[in-house]
Amino acid sequence: YITEVRGRAVPYVRFFVQAMSGVPSVVAGLFILTIVVATGAFNQSAFAGGLAYAILMLPTVARTAEEVLKLVPDELRTGALALGSTRARTVLRVVIPAARTGIITAVILGVARVIGETAPLLLAAGNNDQTVVNPFGSPISSVPTYIFNNVALPYPDAVARAWGSALVLIILVAVLFTLARVLGRGRAGR
């Protein structure tokens, strides 16, 4: 919307997205807890945790995708429009495919940004020791909450498990950032 439509609301949308980038993760969790869980729409669940993560990811993905879409040459847009394509079809069939790698990179960066957040999961998704197969049904277990639970225990083995889990998270984030960088480099070479 920000790069392709350029309507009157664009400055407000851009301001909203930029303001959201400064929102602490606990606020996103509280928002979902209040709006989704407390109203009875959903229980504390993986779905509610995903909504909290989506709120945290939105600014990163939106700003990165905006920059990537600005890099798509105007010749592609004008060429598609000159061939009789509608504006919507041009965006869906020409602009987005041209920026696909950059958009995927934006999503990966967004996931890497939120993957270790604990507060939104504790509030929106709850905390559970059991394996849960229904993402809408009950509280879930996650790596950040596992670390949170084990680091406070007075047992050396529990603290060691927490450190091991933290290492897994660090490796996962490093892999995601590396993947985003490789994809970004591949797009730049075209």
Q: Model confidence over 28-76: pLDDT tens digits?
A: 999 999 998 888 888 888 899 899 999 999 999 999 998 899 889 989 8
The answer to whether residue 3 sits within a structural domain is: no
The answer to whether residue 1 sits within a structural domain is: no
Q: Are 105 and 64 in contact (CB under 8 A)?
A: yes
Rounded to two decimals, the pTM is: 0.78
Q: Are 129 and 141 in contact (CB under 8 A)?
A: yes
CATH of the domain at 44: 1.10.3720.10
The answer to whether residue 114 sits within a structural domain is: yes
Please give the tally of structural domains in the chain: 1
CA 167, CA 173: separation in Å to the nearest integer?
A: 10
Neighbours of 127 (CB within 10 A): 17
CA 64 to chain CA centroid, Å, is 12
The answer to whether residue 66 sits within a structural domain is: yes
Q: Model confidence over 76-99: pLDDT tens digits?
A: 888 998 999 888 899 889 999 998
CA 140, CA 148: separation in Å to the nearest integer?
A: 14
Which residue in the block uniquely carries the two structure tokens 């606020």? 27
